[in-house]
């Protein structure tokens, strides 16, 4: 579904992503793991179109998406969750979520002429997602009024609402309580059942290995191992990368 071929990105003398190649299969949960600075988030930024690659190719559903702008990447069906909160602080939670549903809201004349009303169907979709993350009572709160964990849940809900076939989640459980971790884990497994493909970056090894069908390990911008969680657990290279020689 997503194919990375010989992708490289350097920042000055630092090789953040170094001739990296892998592909992820449809309807799988793939975990991208690796020590700090191994190039995981840079790789996400390259796929999302936020930064441009030095060389290499990114293909999604047989379409070359290398160097597409972030909005074009999103409109191909890739929805992205960031590591840091990217909620719209001065909009309500409901408004934050409604923004993700479609792009009809970018049509000036349609909106000026009142032909783009917030339909009941859209409201129901938002309410359903709020219920899923157990935050119905926060619908009218502003983004800035939420705690870190609450923001995380709303951002996950927004990423899910954004039309997608592939979800790219950068550390979805970082900084959240154990109860919320379980909740997020359930949500992701449910999404997989419904046909979604998920690529996630995770530092919590237990979370990643329990959830993923396949694990890709990065170190110094290169893929050093790839396989099932069980294969990865016992991989010597992976242990070296994490624990040192």
Are the C-beta atoms of residues 154 and 176 closer than 8 Å to each other? Answer: no
**Quick one: which of 88, 49, 45, 41 has its CA closest to 66?**
49
With CB under 8 A as the contact rule, the residue among 65, 100, 208, 211 that binds another protein is: 100
Distance CA 79, CA 165 (A): 8
| Cα–Cα distance for residue pair 83/202, rounded to 1 Å | 10
Closest by CA position to 33, among listed 203, 171, 189: 203
Q: Which residue's structure tokens are 């449809």? A: 26
Q: Between residues 5 and 116, which has the closer beta carbon with respect to another protein?
A: 116
Told to check if 111 binds another protein by CB under 8 A, we report yes
3-state secondary structure of 166: strand
Site for another protein (CB under 8 A): which residue of 56, 163, 227, 229?
163
**56 is an interface residue for another protein by CB under 8 A:** no
Q: How far is the CB of 89 from another protein (least distance, A)?
A: 6
Question: H or E stretch including 47?
Answer: helix 40-48
Site for another protein in 14-53 (CB under 8 A): 48, 50
The 3-class secondary structure across 77-119, one letter per residue, is CEEEECCCCCCCCCCEHHHHHHHHHCCHHHCHHHHHCCCCCCC
> Could you tell me the smallest distance in angstroms from the CB atom of residue 148 to another protein?
16
- Does 121 contact another protein by CB under 8 A? no
- In the bound state with another protein, the residue whose beta carbon lies nearer, of 22 and 88, is 88
Does position 233 interact with another protein (CB under 8 A)? The reply is no
Query: Least distance in Å: CB of 141 to another protein?
Result: 14
Pick the binder of another protein from 36, 62, 108, 120 (CB under 8 A).
Answer: 108
Using CB under 8 A, which of the segments 58-66, 80-88, 130-138, 188-196 binds another protein? 80-88
Q: Report CA 197 to chain centroid distance, whole Å.
A: 10
**Which residues are at the interface with another protein (CB under 8 A)?**
48, 50, 69-71, 74-75, 80, 82, 86-91, 95, 98-100, 103-108, 111-112, 114, 116, 118, 143, 158, 162-163
């Amino acid at each position: 579904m997503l194919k990375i071929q010989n992708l490289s990105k350097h920042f000055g003398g630092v090789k953040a992503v170094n001739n990296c190649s892998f592909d992820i299969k449809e309807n799988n949960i793939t975990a991208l793991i690796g020590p700090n600075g191994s190039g995981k988030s840079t790789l996400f930024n390259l796929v999302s179109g936020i930064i441009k690659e030095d060389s290499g190719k990114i293909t999604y559903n047989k379409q070359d998406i290398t160097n597409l702008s972030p909005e074009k990447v999103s409109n191909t069906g890739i929805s992205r969750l960031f590591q840091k909160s990217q909620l719209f602080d001065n909009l309500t939670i409901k408004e934050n979520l409604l923004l993700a549903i479609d792009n009809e809201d970018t049509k000036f004349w349609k909106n000026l002429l009142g032909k783009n009303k917030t339909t009941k169907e859209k409201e129901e979709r938002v309410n359903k997602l709020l219920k899923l993350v157990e935050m119905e009572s926060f619908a009218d709160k502003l983004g800035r009024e939420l705690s870190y964990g609450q923001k995380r849940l709303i951002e996950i809900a927004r990423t899910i609402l954004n039309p997608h076939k592939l979800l790219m989640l950068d550390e979805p459980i970082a900084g959240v309580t154990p109860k919320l971790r379980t909740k997020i884990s359930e949500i992701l497994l449910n999404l997989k059942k419904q046909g979604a493909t998920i690529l996630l970056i995770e530092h919590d090894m237990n979370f990643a290995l329990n959830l993923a069908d396949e694990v890709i390990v990065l170190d110094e911008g290169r893929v050093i191992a790839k396989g099932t969680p069980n294969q990865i657990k016992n991989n010597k290279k992976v242990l070296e990368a994490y624990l040192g020689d």
